[in-house]
Amino acid sequence: MKINTIRFGEIDIEEDRIFNFVLPIIGFNELNRFVLLDLNKDNFFKWLQAVDDPALAFPVVSIFGLNLDYSIDLPDNVVEILKIQKVESLLVMNIASIPQDNPQGTTINLLAPLIFNLDEQLAGQVVLSGSGYDISFPLFKKNS
């Protein structure tokens, strides 16, 4: 399947790589089909491209390799909606905000991670209420 994107041009994706966001991304309730793009295997960032909106792509990261104290306890209703059977089928990504004029000011949203069920091609954004996590966690330490 070919999709047109503003950021990456026309790209060819397999239909089985499209995730159905049954728990929509906050502010984008009308969009539910996204694909994860790993355009540069050496890059820390991946892109979450909306299949039905060529202009919408989120930079995302997996923070589990960053040595942060970050754990997720999913509510039972989320486990049911995403049809989660085993933890090995999960991928957790966090949306990054990268200021164009200051990439060192990049922050990541720890409060509302994206949860992917790789076995079912289902996904959703989940707000970790009461977790104390920040929506603007700095990715890079500031030089003193």
pLDDT, position 111: 97
pLDDT greater at residue 37 or residue 40? 37
Per-residue pLDDT reduced to its tens digit, 122-142 = 999 999 998 999 999 998 877
Please give the structure tokens belonging to residue 9. Answer: 């041009």
34: nearest Cα among 128, 104, 122, 135: 122
Structural domain contains residue 65: yes
CATH at residue 130: 2.30.290.10
The domain tally of the chain equals 1
* Number of residues written out for the chain: 144
Count Cβ atoms below 10 Å from residue 141 Cβ, excluding itself: 7
Per-residue pLDDT reduced to its tens digit, 39-90 = 777 678 999 999 999 999 999 999 887 878 899 999 999 999 999 999 999 9
pLDDT, position 143: 60
CB 87 within 8 A of CB 59: no
CB 101 within 8 A of CB 68: no
Which domain covers residue 105, as residue numbers? 2-138
